[in-house]
Structures are given as structure tokens and as C-alpha cells.
Amino acid sequence: MALKIKKSTNPKKKLMLVGEKKDGSKITRHFGASGYVDRTRIKNAEERKKRTAAYKSRHKGDNLNDPYSAGALSYYVLWGADTISGGIAKYNKRFGLSVSR
């Protein structure tokens, strides 16, 4: 089963990663707190740049080396590009995975 990013079934989260990890074990990881803004929702370029820098500064201590951690998923998918598709592409490139939507 391939890895996919879908709308979260948890009302407190935005998205979830579901599928099989490289080792064959199944994963469901919810990420991105609903009710909060992320880079993909900020239209003003100057505001987006400012808020992205603040987010990355605040979360630099998160576990960003584990591709299955909620921190890495939020960092790359929600804050890595201006769109979810762009964020997924950066996430895939960073971790050598093939996650789809």
C-alpha cells in the first residue's frame, strides 16, 4: 500500500499520512493543528515569508529527520511550499519517498 496524504479524520488536525512505511509496517499519522494558519493558506507574499520564518524558528528543535513524525510532515508539507502539492514534492525529495495525495 502506497503512502498517501488525506484530509484528517481527527477534527483537531488538518491532514494525515496513511499507508506502509519502508519497513512494511502500517502508519497513520495526523498532523497540522486545525484552527491555525499554515503557509499554504497565507496569500500575501510578505506575510507568508514572515510567518514561515517564525514557524521554522519555533520548530527548529522538532524531530525533522524522521519522515513519519508529525513535526517533519508539518514542516515540509504545510510550511515547505506555497501549496500542499509543492510541500509534498519537497517532502518526497527530502526523504526519498513517493507520497501522493
Domain spans in the chain, listed from the N-terminal domain onward: 4-95
Q: Which long-range contacts (CB under 8 A, 24 or more apart) does 70-78 make?
A: 70/29, 70/30, 70/31, 71/31, 73/15, 73/17, 73/29, 73/31, 73/32, 74/31, 74/32, 74/38, 77/5, 77/15, 77/31, 77/32, 78/14, 78/15, 78/31, 78/32, 78/38, 78/39, 78/40
Q: Among all chains, which residue has been given the C-alpha cell 509534498?
A: 88
Model pTM score: 0.93
pLDDT for 1: 61
pLDDT tens profile 12-51: 999 999 999 988 999 999 999 999 999 999 999 999 999 9
